[in-house]
Amino acid sequence: MTPHKPSLDNIVAILARTPASLSALLEGLPQALVTVTEGGNTWSPYDVIGHLIYGERVNWIPRARHILAGETRPFDPFDRTAQFTQSQGKELSELLKTFEMLRRENLATLAGMNLTDTDFFRVGHHPELGEVTLGQLLATWAVHDLDHLGQIARTLAKAHTSAVGPWGRFLSILKDRQHEPASNGAGSNKA
């Protein structure tokens, strides 16, 4: 499939909005909901925010720079469980603020790259996926946000599975990702 140039405006519009959307959803939520999971090794809303912070620090912008620098070695692999040590002892509200700040800085960095149409087709090497383009990396950054927003909605919903009684039949979110392997923390969302 020939990569096409994604709309940077659309991608940035999503990236700029997810931190405030997540803060509005999670700030001040009762602790029982902040730490609830879908069972097994799945992640709580608290874990997800730590994961998003770690991605702002070591994944998206470093990989964009790696591509723009013309590096031929693969990206460094991304540690998908770093948040379990990095978030330790921190309050959710502190994590939400950190995520908003890092995202704002990273979007300023992205704007400062003054990407040309050609840049979107520059190629990097993903350790598992092989050749990927800068445009695909940026689109993935936004979809990765949305995947985790959806995960948080699903996790909070599933906390109420027994409470909804017969209505469970009508609420599809309660049945989403029921067959995920329990060992896969992020609901198989990796990047």
- Which spans of this chain sit near its own copies (rule: CB under 8 A)? 1, 3-4, 6-7, 9-11, 13-14, 17-18, 20-26, 28-30, 32-33, 126, 129-133, 135-137, 139-140, 142-144, 146-147, 149-150, 153-154, 156-157, 159-160, 162-167, 169-174, 176-177, 180, 187-191
Residue 129: count of CB within 10 angstroms of its CB: 12
CB of residue 105 to its own copies, shortest distance in Å: 19
| Cα 120 from Cα 8, distance rounded (Å) | 9
Min dist CB 89 to its own copies, Å, is 24
Tokens matching residue 43: 């992640």
Minimum distance between the CB of residue 90 and its own copies, rounded to whole angstroms? 21
According to DSSP, residue 116 is labeled: -
Give 57 or 80: the residue with its C-beta nearer to its own copies.
Answer: 80
Say if CB 43 and CB 150 are below 8 A apart: no
| Total count of residues recorded for the chain | 191
- CB-nearer residue toward its own copies: 25 or 82: 25
CB of 79 to its own copies, least distance (A): 15
Cα separation, 14 vs 4, in Å, equals: 19
**What count of other Cβ atoms lies within 10 Å of the Cβ of residue 160?**
14
